[in-house]
Structure 1
Amino acid sequence: MNTTIEIQNLKCGGCAHTITSRLSELDNIDNVLVDNDNNTVSFNYKNEDTLNNATALLSKLGYPAAGENNPITKKAKSFVSCAVGRMNS
């Protein structure tokens, strides 16, 4: 199955690199594509548990789905994820 999720706090290629690399580490997730212009991430997944794990990881990294609670702590985590992604890209 394939999904596209609109996410919050997506800023740059560093963010995209972190999201792509971390989601790709999950079992049963592949073809991860981040679209910075539309604030979306798309990927293939096997089942609902896999999808739930992916959205939970996105939120943990600081990129909650649109409409999800986005406190300052998640915004701060996204800046850290962004910096890590820039260093590792």
Structure 2
Amino acid sequence: MRTIKVLNLKCNGCANTITKGLLSIEGVENVSVDVATSKVSFILTEEETLNSVKEKLTAMGYPEVGNNNTIIHKTKSFISCATGRIIAE
């Protein structure tokens, strides 16, 4: 199990978006998002998929802690959050 701590994770809407987004990547399984700790855990069936996971998280507005968190990332996370809330309903 791999775990990445991300920025901009605020609610279950965000968690839904992250889960759906990561499961769309071939080689990623069992995604779990802990909103309280901002941690995303998952299983990789292919090691080279890790970069794809990080790129996908950043593209959705949830860059890994330690990376640059721009206004664009923050804006994308708000959009991803809203989308995740709609999907959950």
TM-score, normalised to structure 1, is 0.96
Distance in 1 (alpha carbons) for counterparts of 2:47 and 2:75: 28
Instruction: Give the residue type in structure 2 aligned to 1:23.
Output: L
Match of residue 86 from structure 2: 87
Distance in 1 (alpha carbons) for counterparts of 2:10 and 2:61: 11
Identity, % of aligned pairs? 47
Distance in 1 (alpha carbons) for counterparts of 2:63 and 2:46: 20
Distance in 1 (alpha carbons) for counterparts of 2:76 and 2:35: 18
Distance in 2 (alpha carbons) for counterparts of 1:59 and 1:25: 15
Tell me how many residue pairs correspond in the alignment: 88
TM-score, normalised to structure 2, is 0.96
Match of residue 35 from structure 2: 36
RMSD of equivalent CA atoms: 0.7
Distance in 2 (alpha carbons) for counterparts of 1:48 and 1:72: 30
* Stretches of 4+ aligned residues off by more than 4 angstroms: none
